[in-house]
Amino acid sequence: MGIKRVLLADDHAVVRAGIQKVIEDLPGVEVVGEVEDGPSLLRSLDATRPDCLVVDLQMPEFDPLNAIPEIREQHPSMRILVVSVYDDGYYVQKLLEAGVDGYHLKDQPLSDLKLAVQRVLEGERWISSPLISKLIDTPKPAPTAPRLTVRQRDILRLLQEGLDNQAIALELNLSIKTVENHLTRLYKLLGVSSRLEAANYANRHMEILGISGEQAAQSQFGRVAPRHEVAILLVDDNFHYLQQLQRVLGRLCPKASLYTANSTMTAVRVAQRVHPNIAFIDVILGEEDGIRCARRVKAISRDTRIIMISAYPDREFRRLSIEAGAIAFLDKKDLDSRALKQVLDDALI
């Protein structure tokens, strides 16, 4: 087993020194860097690629509730341990939801901090004992994610991907006025008042972008089922190909939940929320690398069976795909109903 690498982020040098001493007492663990503000943290994460980040919340130019989800997205396999003086249950809960793996209070004994780092590095969760009762007593909001029609889901997904009204209209073969009307109703349904708020809502509730297999097969309006036994992620930058693949898979697997993404960022968000059983990922995603996307999805959701697809069945693509964890590499032109049925049968065994 290799050395575990830890990055420290705290704006107080004395505190960093104390934490470093605790960590260096752990066998097989080393501190690979120290930072004291938000921008330095992001740069150092890219440079050092640590196994674990030990981070204080109160640093210059660092907004934890916004920064932690971004860090988690960019470094999905890295463990994150917060070491802080803040003990507000609601705030702690929000950070846990944002992706931290542990939350340790600075006023607790150093022996507890050593145990916290050790547990987090071993893949476990850590919560300082004084916080547990607060988290239990913190009221949890009831799930309020609405069910969307197929058209509302398509518009919300395209809006989330940054398309303006004209581009959405072209993609869906609608008039701009129709798109505007749909957006008005969608904003009301989501309880938001702008495109940015709607996109942020979709990022927090990726499950509302799922479509049932029956809907995909019929290509008609309807309500999205809340959950199905099988979740399938389709990643391709060609919207019309995504729709076509979605319809075929819907007919073959009508009880599945189908999720689509046209970029690595969206695919990673879906994987974090849904943990799909199967993912079909195009090797080339515009200017992005689909194989890198596959690696990130696999790091987040280890049980996901990945099938790489390509209009360019190159041998090197095939080799890299298998190395990235794919169970198959398929030529797009061969993806008819029969081939997809065989893939689904093999992947769902």
**Domains in the chain, please, with CATH?**
4-137 (3.40.50.2300), 150-347 (3.40.50.2300)
- Locate tokens 């341990």: which residue? 81
Confidence of residue 145 (pLDDT cuts 50, 70, 90): low
User: Which pLDDT does position 234 carry in this prediction?
Assistant: 92
User: Which pLDDT does position 100 carry in this prediction?
Assistant: 93
**Integer Cα distance of 223 and 151 in angstroms:** 10
Mean pLDDT of the chain: 83
Nearest-10 Cα torsion for 82, 85, 88, 94: -20
Residue in 265, 348, 344, 262 with CA at minimum distance from that of residue 300: 265
Considering only the C-alpha atoms of the chain, give the largest distance between any 2 of them, rounded to a whole number of Å. Answer: 65
pLDDT tens figures, 75-131: 888 999 999 988 877 778 888 888 899 999 988 888 899 999 999 999 999 999 888
